[in-house]
Structure 1
Amino acid sequence: MDKFTRKTSFEQWLSPISNNLLEEQVKNYQLNYYTKKLHMTSFLKLLLYAQLHETESLRALSDCVFSEELQNATQLDSISFSQLGRRLNLVPTEFFQTIFLDLVKQIHRKTDFQARRKTTTPLKIIDSSTLPLNLNNHKWAKFRKTKSGVKLHLRLVFMEKGHSYPDQSVLTNANEHDRGQLEILVDDKECMYVFDRGYLDYERFDRMTDEGYFFVSRLRKNAVVRSLETLSLPEDSSVLSDEMVVIGTTQNRSENVFRLIKVWDTKGNELHLLTNRFDLSADEIAELYKSRWAIELFFKWMKQHLNIKKFFGQSEQAVHNQVYIAMIVYCLNVLAQRNTKSKRSYLQISRYLKAALWKPEHIWLRKIGGNTVP
């Protein structure tokens, strides 16, 4: 009898998604009203399955329901691709966003995020990446004569040993400027924010400093800077210079004094780093900025291994929904790693899951929970 009640690896993987939260959101948005067949729980499982297997279209996903195991998991014996398309276009993006944010809270707990805030300043990295779209199918997202696209503005929590995870995001059309999103993505005075030149906004930097937010950003080389004081550096420092400055022209100058640190990058280019943090050494600030590579790796990983190369729907809502499903998959992999204390990479966890998808959960858990990495 036990073999019929045991969880599959697929069910174990998606178990962090709260059934109570799911039911609450379904009720709030009335998503199962007048629904005879494709209920939201089944639909969510199908979308997660499609992400795992990088299914290329809703028609292909419809054909996958031929699988007896997928039928058992979704309680569906068949579903048309047109029904899937209508559902994807109608479900509010806030539904998937709420699930994503709840998984982020669970990751916070698993990584002792609140406890770490008492002993150190958590590092959060902000950046954006454009996801290209077909102009003929997505005219609402046009940003150049021949291109369409959406922009994912993301905040990433950076942890020790190179681990990181997203904890906030905003989706806009690709023509939206990055710096307008700082108001949303900077909201915690106990964190240190790292971002690139796309977020330069002198007025905003003044407000952040006045309100008690700390940041380090890259400054354009042609920025107008007036040096007030040159700070001394230790003999073994890799930093070129460390100065106290005001930025901007006479007509539009910062009200606060900032710190300008010049360093070499790995390619031998000179970087100008701006920060309002004066209690750390120049080398420590430079190291903080180097952490920004983590978000570049995240975007690269996401585009290579999650199903956002080709979008299932043509509407803005359908595209946004698919992006959030991709981030839900990423968070589920993070939680699988943290819950099992696995040393496997997220990619390995995902590969083993696909290989053991309908097998009993202990087979997958035992494999990813091993102490050796092949």
Structure 2
Amino acid sequence: MSCTVIEERPVDAAQGIVHDQIIVLNTEQSQKAYPQPLRIVTARVEINGKEVEMTFITNNIKWAASSVADLYQSRWGIEVFFKQLKQTLKLSGFIGYSKKAIQWQVWAALLVWLLSRYAAFASAGTHSFSRLMALLRSYAWERFDLKELLQFHGTAGGLPRMAALPGQACFPGFEPK
């Protein structure tokens, strides 16, 4: 990116801020698209347990540089959560393509994820989370009695009676309602 630094702001190294600069874009096309000054904040942030140096560009001149970096950290957490949600619940193909259909499926997926997290917490580690997720993913779009399903497959107390491996979507003997 071609830019000119017009102001170097003081930084707080204790908060992980490396640079805080006000810039203007150099190219004619860029200046035409965005004539206002921008801000570049370079900070050391933690990603997956490692501290890395990242640069953020923003049009917010008023916030503290640490707030810009903190906002990124929060946004990153949201991105990771949705990635986990998509992978765990296989939320990539949609039943319908209207806005309402997609919203309904995302809300249902969030509910299944939340219920599964609660069930994993409530069982206090007596059953694996991946086993429970395989079970719920298989029946996510079916109508069933959750307690009956969990009891049938041994995830709600008693001996495990699961007839299939966790990665399989076939559970012989159980009929959804």
Identify the TM-score tier after normalising by the shorter chain: 0.5 to 0.7
1:122 corresponding residue in structure 2? none
Secondary structure of the 2:24 match is strand
1:1-374 aligned at under 5 Å gives the runs: 223-234=1-12, 236-253=14-31, 254-266=34-46, 267=50, 269-308=52-91, 311=93, 317=96, 323-332=102-111, 347-349=116-118, 357-358=146-147
How many angstroms does 1:318 deviate by? 5.6
Distance 1:305 1:322, change over 3 A: farther
Query: For structure 1, which runs of at least 5 residues remain unmatched after alignment?
Result: 1-222, 335-344, 360-366, 368-374
C-alpha distance in 1 between matches for 2:99 and 2:6: 47
Distance 1:333 1:279, change over 3 A: farther
Indicate how the Cα distance of structure 1 residues 308 and 282 shifts in structure 2: closer, same or farther if over 3 A, else same: closer
- Contact 1:312/1:319 (CA < 8 Å) preserved in 2? no
CA distance in 1, matches of 2:115, 2:74: 19
Cα distance, 1:251–1:328 mapped onto 2, change above 3 Å: closer
In the TM superposition, what is the alpha-carbon distance from 1:307 to its structure 2 partner?
A: 4.2
| C-alpha separation in 1, matches of 2:38 and 2:87 | 38
* 2: CA distance, partners of 1:299 / 1:251: 35
Q: Alpha-carbon deviation of 1:350?
A: 6.0
The one-letter code of the counterpart of 2:19 is S
For residues 306 and 227 of structure 1, do their structure 2 counterparts lie closer, same or farther at Cα, with a shift above 3 Å needed?
same
Query: In structure 1, what is the Cα distance between the partners aligned to 2:84 and 2:27?
Result: 40
Matches of 1:325 and 1:306, distance apart in 2: 14
CA distance, structure 1, for counterparts of residue 107 and residue 53 of structure 2? 38
Change over 3 Å in CA distance of 1:323–1:244 after alignment to 2: same
Q: Deviations over 1:202-222 (max 9, x none)?
A: xxxxxxxxxxxxxxxxxxxxx
Q: Does the 8 Å contact 1:259/1:276 carry over to 2? A: yes
The number of residues matched between the two structures is 124
1:234 to partner: Cα distance: 3.2
How far did residue 290 of structure 1 move? 1.1
Conservation of the 8 A alpha-carbon contact between 1:228 and 1:243: yes
Indicate conservation of the 8 Å contact 2:15/2:66, yes or no. yes
CA RMSD between the two structures: 3.7
Aligned partners of 2:18 and 2:42 also within 8 Å: yes
Which consecutive unaligned segments of at least 5 residues does structure 2 have? 123-131, 137-143, 149-155, 157-177
1:147-186 deviations in whole A, cap 9, x for unaligned? xxxxxxxxxxxxxxxxxxxxxxxxxxxxxxxxxxxxxxxx
The alignment partner of 1:292 has SS state of helix
Preserved contact between residue 239 and residue 262 of structure 1 (Cα < 8 Å): yes
Deviation at 1:332, TM superposition (A): 3.8
Identify the structure with bigger relative contact order (alpha carbons < 8 Å, sequence gap 6+): 1
TM-score (norm 2): 0.53
Supply the distance in 1 between the matched residues of 2:57 and 2:45 (Cα, whole angstroms). 15
1:333 to partner: Cα distance: 5.7
% identical aligned pairs: 23
Structure 2 CA distance for aligned equivalents of residues 281 and 306 of structure 1:
38
- Give CA-to-partner distance per residue, 1:315-361, whole Å, 9 cap, x none: xx469877444312145469xxxxxxxxxx653236679697156xx
> C-alpha displacement at 1:265, in angstroms?
3.8
